Amino acid sequence: MTVPAPVGAGSLTARAARVDSRIARILRVGTLVSIGLLTIGVAFMAAAGRSPLDGSWPALDLGRIPGDLLALRPEGFLWLGLITMLATPLVRVAAAVIEFIAGGERRMAGLGTAVLVLIAIAVIVAQRTAAA
Amino acid sequence: MTILLVLAAAGFGAGVFGSLLGLGGGVLIVPLLTFGFGLPFREAVGVSLVCVIVTSSAAAGVYLERHLANMRLGMLLEVFTVSGALVGGLVAFLLPDRVLAGLFAILLVYTGVTMMLRGATARGDAGPVVAAEGPAGPAEAAGAFRAALGGPGYRPARLGVGIAGSLFAGMVSALLGVGGGIVKVPLMHLVMGIPLKVATATSNFMIGVTGAASAIVYLMRGGIDPLVVGPTAVGVFAGAMVGSRVAQRIELRFLRLLFAAVMALTALQMALRALG
- Structural domain includes residue A7: no
- Structural domain includes residue A2: no
Minimal-distance CA residue of chain A relative to B69: A20
Q: How large is the average pLDDT for residues A1-29?
A: 68
3-class secondary structure, B151: strand
Contact A89 B54 (CB under 8 A): no
Contact B82 A118 (CB under 8 A): yes
pLDDT in tens, A95-114: 999 999 998 889 999 999 99
Minimal-distance CA residue of chain A relative to B72: A108
Q: Predicted ipTM? A: 0.86
Backbone angles phi, psi at B154, to 5 degrees: -150, 160
The structural domain count of chain A equals 1
Output the average pLDDT for chain A. Answer: 86
Contact B85 A31 (CB under 8 A): no
Q: Determine contact, residues B218/B46, Cβ cutoff 8 Å.
A: yes
- Structural domain includes residue A81: yes
Of A1, A114, A126, the CB nearest to B216: A126
Q: How many contacts does A have with B, using Cβ atoms within 8 A?
A: 211
- Structural domain includes residue A6: no
- Structural domain includes residue A5: no
Of B57, B155, B225, the CB nearest to A27: B57
Which domain, by its residues, includes A49? 12-131
Of B1, B215, B234, the CB nearest to A38: B234
DSSP H helices in chain A: 9-48, 65-70, 74-102, 106-131
- Structural domain includes residue A123: yes
Task: Tell me the chain A residues in contact with residue B208 when contact means C-beta distances shorter than 8 Å.
Answer: 27, 88-89, 92
- Structural domain includes residue A118: yes
Contact A9 B148 (CB under 8 A): yes
pLDDT in tens, B117-137: 766 655 444 333 334 444 444
Please tell me the distance in Å from A66's CA to the nearest CA on chain B.
16
User: Is residue A91 predicted with pLDDT exceeding 90?
Assistant: yes
Residue B249 is classified by DSSP as G
Residue B45: which residues within 8 A CB-CB, separation 6 or more? B30, B92, B100, B175, B176, B177, B218, B223
Please tell me the distance in Å from B257's CA to the nearest CA on chain A.
32
- Structural domain includes residue A72: yes
What's the pLDDT band for A78 if we cut at 50, 70, 90? very high
**pLDDT value for B67:** 84
Of B221, B188, B230, give the one whose Cα is nearest residue B207: B188
